[in-house]
Amino acid sequence: AALRSLLQVTEERARAAELWRELGVLLSEGLSDDFEAIEAYSEALRLAPMYEGVYETLVSLIERAEAWDHLINTLNATLLECDSDEARALTHARAAHVFEHKLGALDEAIEQLTALRSLAPHDEEALTALARLYERREAWGEQAEVLRTHADLIDEELKALASTQDAQKSSAELEA
């Protein structure tokens, strides 16, 4: 019964997000009201952070309106609603990008990437971005730690690849 109830809530959230997205399309394209469309797309994103295309459309509307603070507020609200670590990690990555590239707020970008790493410690894009931000901040110790972690991750991937190739080679030799 609890699973059925959870599924029903999830379906209702998805349907509500779809309705908010449809309203956003109408407001933006039909009525040329970008500010109201931003509100509608923000609500759709809050309800369904993984909804395909909603975030991208919201960003394009926000670029035209130059309302980056609104996007950050929406992303913060979205974090409270996320139902998976994957959705939370994606939301942190989006916020970090806005803080760094749109608002020039490097410390806030670092905070978002650090939160992302707590959810996905081996996320290569987050590691690369953190190294870049620490370099810009001249935080050499933190940058060295991130680069070391990134190098260790790549080393692990190379070892796994070599092991797979060795296993394939042994299998091929046995078949011959």
**pLDDT by residue (tens digit) across 43-87?**
998 888 887 888 889 888 988 888 899 889 888 888 887 778 998
CA distance 140 to 142: 6
Q: Tokens at residue 3, please?
A: 């699973």
CA distance 153 to 156: 5
Is pLDDT at 8 greater than 80 in this prediction?
no
Please state the rounded mean pLDDT for residues 93-105.
Answer: 94
Is pLDDT at 168 greater than 80 in this prediction?
no
The reported pLDDT for the residue numbered 2 is: 58
DSSP symbol at 120: -
Tracing tokens 């060295």 back to the chain, one arrives at 144
- First and final C-alpha spacing in the chain: 56
DSSP 3-state of 130: helix
Q: What is the pTM of this model?
A: 0.74
